Structure formats: C-alpha cells, structure tokens
Chains A and B, each alone.
Chain A
Amino acid sequence: MQRFFASRWGPITAGAIIGILAALLVLWGNPKNMGVCVACFERDIAGALGLHRNPVVQYIRPEIIGFVLGSLVAALLFREFRPRGGSAPIIRFLLGMFAMIGALVFLGCPWRALLRLAGGDLNALLALAGLVVGIGVGVLFMRAGYTLGRSTPAPAVAGWIMPALMVGLLLLAIFRPVFGQDLPIFASEKGPGSQHAALWLSLVVGMVIGFLAQRTRFCTMGAIRDVLLMGDTHLLGGVVALLLTAFLTNGVLTWATGTPYVNFSFTGQPVAHSNHLWNFAGMALAGLSFALAGGCPGRQLFMAGEGDGDAALFVLGMIVGAGFSHNFSLAGVPDAGNVVGGPSIYGQIAVGIGLAFCLILGFAARMRRQEVKR
C-alpha cells in the first residue's frame, strides 16, 4: 500500500477520486463548478467569522476542516506527523495573503480552475495559463538559488495548533453561537455561500481527500513546477486525472439528471467573469505565490495537518487575505448579463503590489550555500 501511494499511481488515484468527489459535491449542494475550491472555501470561512461582510460568501466550509484533519489522521497512522516551523514565517503569511488576493481576482484556486474547465468554463484556460507563467517565474528563482531557509523541528504542541483551530471551527459550524446583536457566525442566505452539501457529508469528503492527498503528496502547483524544473511528471498525473474524472462525472450527472453540468463557453458561467487579462494576471500572482511558498493551497492545508507550522501560517495568511479582498473590493466581480466583470482598480493595484512583492522576494531570498559539504 505504502509503495502504491508513493508510485506514479498514487497522485493519479488521489486526483481521480478528488475529481469525482468534487463533481458529486455540486450534486449534493455545493455551488456549480465549485465542488471544492480551497481559496473560495477559505474566503467563505473568513466571511462566516465576520472578517469580511460580503453577505453572499459566508459559510464555515467543512471541507477545509476535513482536509486538515484527514491529513492529520494519515500522518499519525503512517508516522509522518512532524511538528516543525520557523522558515521565514512572516514571509509565508504574506505569500498566503497575496496568493488569496490573486486567486480571488480570478475567483478560484488551481483546484477550481480545473473544476471550472471540467464544467466547460473556458475562462479557466486563461487562469491555467497564468498559473503556468507564475510558477515558471518561481522556477527561474529556484534555479538561481531561491530559498526561505530551513524549518526546524518544533515541540509536538506546535503541530497540533492547526488541527485544534479546525476543531474549533467545526464546533462553531455545528453550534452557530451568537455573540451579541447582529454578531452571529455568519451564513449566507443567498449566493454561493448559501449553496452547500450537508455538513457531515462535506466533512467526510474533506477528510477522505485530506487522507489521500497526504499519502500521495497531491499538489497542483507542484505538478506544474516539477515538470518545468526537473521534467518530472510524477505529480502531473494527479492533476490530469482530476480534470478528466471531474469532466466525466459532470457528463454522467448531466445524463442522469437532465440538468447540464457542462457548458462550454466564456460567458454565462457560474461565479466567474470573462475578463481575460485579469483571469490571467490574478492566477499568475497566485501561482508565483504558491511556488515561492512550496505548495498549492490544498497542499498547504495537508502540510499543516502534518504539523508544518509554516504551512499553517500560509493558510492563516490566505484567510486574512480573503478578508482584505472583500473589505477593500479587490476580488473579481462576476459577469452580470452582458457586462464583463473583473477586479476593481483597487484589485488591479493589489495584484501589482503582490507581483512586486513576489519579484523582490524571488531576487532577495537567498542564503549562502552551506548545504553541500565536500
């Protein structure tokens, strides 16, 4: 089993199962082309906690909780739980923020870009192109010696913080406490935040994905990075499998329910805009941020479940970034009828600032080479 997960078939199996489950989550209630979206779901969590007050994207998404807890279970079972941290934490937090700002300009993380494409949303092609370019720039920095430095082993308690936070979120999702007048755990009554599968179902699916992804190191950014950096297609199989099975499952659902789950076009797509430049640029920023931080947003959650405190900070940075995105109107606005959406001027400036931050970091984050001794 161990050998199977580490083989080429490991990521392919994980990707295939994620694709099927993500498509099914739409049938079970999640928004269209958004069965699983790490960026969107963390944004919804930020909204549920009142870190932003956009009323249509607020809900504690149990999938995210499941990702961390499923990964934790796998890491404990297979003795891979390794509390660690201390590799430029403040930078990782900011990379998380900018990754989220870029992803929300496009309206999705790499996972959702694949799922949008599997639902026929051709705007995802621009986003995937941006993702490849962003990661490609990151690869250039890596070749030149980019590093955020070493993490070091941490006390066990440090590794348990993120899982504990997730359990706390789960308790808030279940009990929905009200902290005062108009101070609830927010939950959208309309819009994508109001569309969700049953809590336990989302949680279980999240845990299954978290478990599989921890075992197979599934990573959408890593898939592209490894091809560009080393000609290694090990992880790429998982991404291709996700795309294919999500597409096939959408086809089966269309046939079985009579409702179209695939619709090839640039316009009229759910929770999407057809502003090509900013779909590309937003995801280029996200891709570069993920590359410089060493993992896609899903992988950061799985590493957080393994006890990686730096990945946990990246996740918290993403959640805070989502708050800023909606408080400062940085996120892309979906198309409305014939009006093409996209980010406001503030969102465009934020992408520029993010790209500048990543470029400065890419050039500046070097350490004297001490890792090779002769």
Chain B
Amino acid sequence: MITVDARGRSCPEPALLTRNALRQAGRGEIHVLVDTETARDNCIRVAGREGWQVQVLEEEGTYHLVLTK
C-alpha cells in the first residue's frame, strides 16, 4: 500500500505529491494524509482530474483520503 503523508506541507506540495504518486502508481489504492481543509480539497480535485475515486475519513484533525482506481 502506498501512503502519502503530506501533513504540515504548504501549498502546493500536498497536491503535487498526490499527483506524482497517482501517476506513478497508475492504478490501485493510495492513501493520502493531510491536515488542512485546503490541502484536502486540493488533493480531492487532483484525484478527480486523474480519474480516481475518493473516500474521505477524518480523525483527530487529520484527513485520511483513500484514493482508488
């Protein structure tokens, strides 16, 4: 399983790290951890553009995105 931990990273690093991971993997399941709503929304947008499904879980100030394709 691939996990991208982008917590604490400022814009645009979470989106960029996520995009790079998605493109490298091509398909499968990727987990992304972010801790701001801006980063969450940006990563969801990137995943949608790349054609991945997104599921969002929240836990103690961390957003856990599960991306699948």
Contact = CB atoms under 8 A, between A and B. Distances in A.
Given A82-B35, A372-B3, A230 B16 contact: yes
A315 B42 CA distance: 24
A142 to B, nearest CB: 6
Contact of B11 (A153, A295, A371): A295
Nearest to B41: A6
B12 A151 contact: no
B2 interface: yes
Given A82-B36, A82-B61, A230-B16, A152 B8 contact: yes
A193 interface: no
Given A217-B38, A234-B45, A371-B6, A294 B21 contact: no
12 contacts: A6-B41, A80-B37, A142-B16, A147-B9, A151-B10, A152-B8, A293-B10, A310-B10, A370-B5, A371-B6, A372-B4, A372-B5
Interface of A: 6, 78, 80, 82, 84, 87, 142, 147-153, 217, 219, 222, 225-226, 229-230, 232, 234, 293-295, 310, 370-374
Contacts of B5: 370-373
Interface string B31-47: 00001111001000110
Given A80-B37, A372-B2, A148 B10 contact: yes
Nearest to B17: A371
Given A150-B7, A217-B38, A234-B45, A373 B2 contact: yes
By size class, the interface of chain B is 20 to 34
Contacts of A149: 8
B15 interface: yes
B13 interface: yes
Nearest to B15: A230
Nearest to A146: B13
B49 to A, nearest CB: 7
Nearest to A143: B16
B3 A222 contact: no
Contact of A230 (B3, B46, B61): B46
A373 B12 CA distance: 20
